[in-house]
Structure 1
Amino acid sequence: MPNLKAIFTKVYWTFAILGIVWAAFVGLLVNPTVQRHALYAHKFHTGFYHNVTNPEEFGFAKGQVQPFWLTTADQEKLFCWHVLPLDVYLENEHELFTAAVSGEVAEELKGTIGEKLLSSDPESRVVVNFHGNAGHIAQGYRPSTYRSVSGIPKTHLVTCDYRGFGLSTLTHSPHIPTESGLIADALSLISYITSDLSHSSTRTVLLGQSLGTAVTAASALYFTNSTSEHLPLAITSPSVTFKPSRNFEGFAGIVLVAPFTSLPQLLKTYKIGGVLPILKPLQGYPRIANYLSTRIVDHWPTLTRLRALISTASANKSGFHITLLHARNDQDITYWESEALFQPLATQMLTEEGVVAEEERRTIQGANRVKRGAFAYKKVEDDKGDRMVELEVVRYGGHNEVVGWTQVSLAIRRAFVRKTMRPGLDVE
């Protein structure tokens, strides 16, 4: 017969030790430096054995990806990739693989063969990708996202590591990633594409995943209202300038994969790696939880910024196409966060005349058919189809893998097409 007392003692002390470790970790998060290291996790990457200057290591054709440096408005240097669409690559394959030199990084994108192919085609389109926290530009599932987008005709993808991530520099105080710093990186990249490369914003889709959705929302707000009170003061300061296109007419679309309403709200349910909770165990201790929430230094208020975006005169004039996409089996950020993002935006739009909403959701038994085979689909749109916010909760894909799946590529295509798709058969 097993010694139940000994087993109970071992279990008790195991949980006690785990509780002490968790409490110590949460206590350390009060320190801004420790907090930002934990939030951005920029030091956790596989760069010591992955060579991001050689994209062939990550499944790309020789010469399909051009690594380059981008200098930000405050003189940081970001390591970036320009990924060519397969149709463009195939047409110019010989020139591209002949000119490619493994490990060579261009000083900037302008002047490269890829940039010339982008700029010379009046029908070319660009997806600007902003990845989540941790890792480097090609970590984990990220290359699958780039390969998926490269299958869309005439659609180039440009993405960079934020300051302090991967090979990107971090020379400014406090020498650690910050909310204003990451937004500055994104604005520098977007303004480089729309201004320096003269690529129209109407042929540009902003794509963000996880933390990248907060970066995307802040960037989109800046280009619709650069003086918004909902942006960090360091970004809206007159001493810092980001060059938008002279005739900014809105983006073709904004696609947010696994977004969240705000960081303080997210931490109430967030689990590291889908396993370790941050503040959820403190739900029974509201005073402690509220105190820790007040110590959060970077808030990333995506809901507030999206609400400000859709209410600006610029966005109402040029229109907007916002897609929130979330996997139901996301263990890191629950899809309820996307639901919590969508509902206030829908409510805000529905106060206007001519705005309609639709909603479809599966029953527990899965008997009801839902648009695109999703678990849930919601949309709010004006009668002209110029302004739209949609939510698609797909059934699979988890937190990271989903961004490289077909549903995201379709969302990008729809943003570029911007027309009602012919109803098809729901054959799952």
Structure 2
Amino acid sequence: MGVLKSGFLFLVFTVSLYPVFVLLLTNPWLQRHALYAHKLHSGFYHDVNKPESFGFAAHQVTPFNVSTPDNEVLYGWHVLPLATVAANRDALAATDPFDQALSLQLLKSDPEARVVVNFHGNAGHVAQGWRTDTYRALSNQPHTHIFTVDYRGFGRSAGSPTEAGLITDGRALVQYVLSLGIPPSRIVILGQSLGTAVASAVGLSFSDPTSELLPQPLLGAKTETAVFRSIILVASFSSLPDLLLSYRIGGLIPVLAPLRGSPFLVGLISKYILDTWPTGLRLNAYASAAASVATKNDGAGNVHILHARDDQDIAFAQSEKLFAMATGREVEVLPLGTREEAKDGKVKVRVEMLQYGRHNRVVTYAPVGLAVMRAFEGL
């Protein structure tokens, strides 16, 4: 009886705290700290300025800073292809590890150079968790450079995160890569979790800078449009309000799931969500805009969505819905494997369901590397 009583009291205590939890999340400051979790990182004992401590070859990673149009300074990494490091070992060893000159020269002088612009998920910093495994895996591909930054407020980057701010950050990184002389046709944009929302918005911002689905005016926007080799989305979601109906913090603590039976309460709480990240709508707009910008028959602009069925943070149904919204299909349960669709006036959208990988580790798995390789090779 004592165990049952304790369990009952714990249940009552938990249920009574839930309304307080939801009410607290309507506070803008708390909401953004909960969403972006940018203060949760291992920077106090992991020095991101020592990439070798994360398993990289000496001088394979060059830290750099990039400034945004609204004057925030972002911290980033340029990861060299491992083959390039091997071929230039002595020259790299003779340079200051924070001097970008040689690493950028090696990028610019390689006519086959390719760039993966990586947008990571929430929490942590550029080198946290499985992120470094992703960079190492991709840098094993020939001629493949990786550029990544911490969004504003994350890691060593200045500022505080907002939806408009992260889109500005993503655009600033892409503009930086373009300024190095790398054409859009040799750039793949890769996003994981929150990074998929950033990647989709950034892709749309270059194919249609005036889109009403983007924060306007778009900081740093130029009149010319561009479409990149591919946009690859790993563990994505259709929109933040929709995600919160099924999302569980750490795979355990539900956010809005207990309210799903009450459309009124869901609608009421949704009005307080500041950053909605409507990725499904943006991806649909991108699929149309990119088709009109991309060079005919070059395979550029395609979208590849990957999701693990054992993802405990974001249900794979979110990627199914994203695929449906991007292509105009009805939502359906997709079997393991791939499905793709290209309609008149739209680029091709591919979705791939993986059996394993969970939420974070999946981006290190071979299917993601294959997606990058397929994009660059035009397969």
2:62 counterpart SS class: strand
Partner residue, 2:162: 178
Q: Tell me, what secondary structure is at the counterpart of 1:149?
A: helix
Q: CA deviation at 1:360?
A: 10
Say which of 110, 126, 147 aligns to 2:136. Answer: 147
Q: Does residue 225 in structure 1 map to residue 208 in structure 2? A: yes
CA shift digits 1:72-97 (9 cap, x unpaired): 11111100000001111111112113
In the alignment, structure 1 residue 381 sits paired with structure 2 residue 342: yes
1:344 aligns with 2:328: no
For 2:181, the equivalent position in structure 1 comes to 198
Q: Is structure 2 residue 117 aligned with structure 1 residue 128? A: yes
| 2:249 maps to 1:272 | yes
Q: Which amino acid aligns with 2:362?
A: V
Percent identity between the two aligned chains: 45
Deviation larger for 276-285 or 291-300: 276-285
What is the CA–CA distance in structure 2 between the aligned matches of 1:314 and 1:324, rounded to whole Å?
18
Task: Say if 2:371 is the partner of 1:411.
Answer: yes
5+ residue gaps in structure 1?
A: 171-175, 351-358, 363-374, 420-428
| CA–CA distance in structure 2, aligned partners of residues 293 and 88 of structure 1 | 49
What is the distance in 2 between the residues matched to 1:16 and 1:210? 33
SS in structure 2 of the partner of residue 158 of structure 1: strand
**1:189 paired to 2:173:** yes
Post-superposition Cα deviations, 1:270-312, rounded to whole Å, max 9, x if no partner, equal 1111111100011233322221111101010001101111112
Q: Would the aligned equivalents of 2:284 and 2:327 in 1 still touch at CA under 8 Å? A: no
AA at the equivalent of 1:38? A
Residue in structure 1 matched with residue 220 of structure 2 by the alignment: 241
State the distance in 1 between where 2:268 and 2:246 align.
16
SS in 1 for 2:146: strand
For the residues of structure 1 that align with 2:133 and 2:78, how far apart are their CA atoms? 14
Larger radius of gyration between Structure 1 and Structure 2: 1
Counterpart contact for 2:281–2:326, Cα < 8 Å: no
1:83 pairs with 63, 69, 79, which one? 79
The residue type equivalent to 2:153 in the other structure is G
1:14-93 mapped onto 2 (5 Å cutoff): 14-93=10-89
CA–CA distance in structure 2, aligned partners of residues 289 and 249 of structure 1: 38
Q: Report the Cα distance in structure 2 between the residues aligned to 1:183 and 1:250, rounded to whole angstroms.
A: 16
| Cα-to-partner distance string for 1:386-414 (whole Å, 9 max, x where unaligned) | 93110001000000000011110100011
Q: Which amino acid in the other structure matches residue 177 of structure 1? A: P
Deviations 1:105-133, CA, capped at 9 Å, x for gaps = 45xx5xx2111000111110000000000
Structure 2 partner of 1:368: none
Aligned residues of 1:225 and 1:314 also touching (Cα < 8 A): no
Shift of 1:327: 0.4
1-side partners of 2:292 and 2:368: how far apart?
23
Partner of 1:423 in structure 2? none
Query: How many positions carry a matched residue from both structures?
Result: 374
Question: How many Å apart are 1:383 and its aligned residue?
Answer: 9.4
Q: Which AA in structure 2 matches 1:65?
A: V
Q: Judge conservation of contact 1:64–1:83 (CA < 8 Å) in 2.
A: yes
Cα deviation, residue 16, structure 1: 1.7
Distance 1:74 1:316, change over 3 A: closer
1:167 to 2:163 alignment: no
Does the C-alpha gap of structure 1 residues 289 and 249 become closer, same or farther in structure 2, counting only changes over 3 Å? closer
**Could you say what secondary structure the match of 1:129 adopts?**
strand
For 2:169, give the aligned amino acid. D
Q: Which amino acid in 2 is paired with 1:322?
A: V
CA distance in 2, matches of 1:300, 1:344: 14
Give the CA deviation at 1:100: 4.2
Which residue in the other structure is 1:402 paired with?
Answer: 362
The answer on whether the counterparts of 2:290 and 2:347 sit within 8 Å (CA) in structure 1 is: no
Post-superposition offset of 1:26:
1.3
* 4+ aligned runs moved over 6 Å, structure 1: none
**Kept after mapping to 2: 8 A contact 1:191/1:242:** no
**For residues 174 and 40 of structure 2, what CA distance do their matches in structure 1 show?**
26
1:265 is displaced (CA, Å) by 0.4
> Is the CA contact 1:205–1:412 (under 8 Å) kept in the aligned structure 2?
yes
Query: Residues 313 and 12 of structure 1: is their aligned pair in 2 closer, same or farther, counting only changes over 3 Å?
Result: closer
TM-score of the superposition, structure 2-length normalised?
0.94
**Cα offset for 1:23?**
2.6
SS in 2 for 1:78: strand
- Indicate the residue corresponding to 1:291 in structure 2: 268
Aligned equivalents of 2:64 and 2:174: distance in 1? 15
Secondary structure of the 1:387 match is: coil
Corresponding residue number in structure 2 for 1:320: 301
Alpha carbon RMSD of aligned pairs, Å?
Answer: 2.1
The answer (yes or no) to whether the contact 2:191–2:233 under 8 Å persists in 1 is: yes
Kindly state the Cα deviation for residue 242 of structure 1 after the two structures are TM-superposed. 3.8
Measured in 2, the distance between the counterparts of 1:278 and 1:8 equals 26
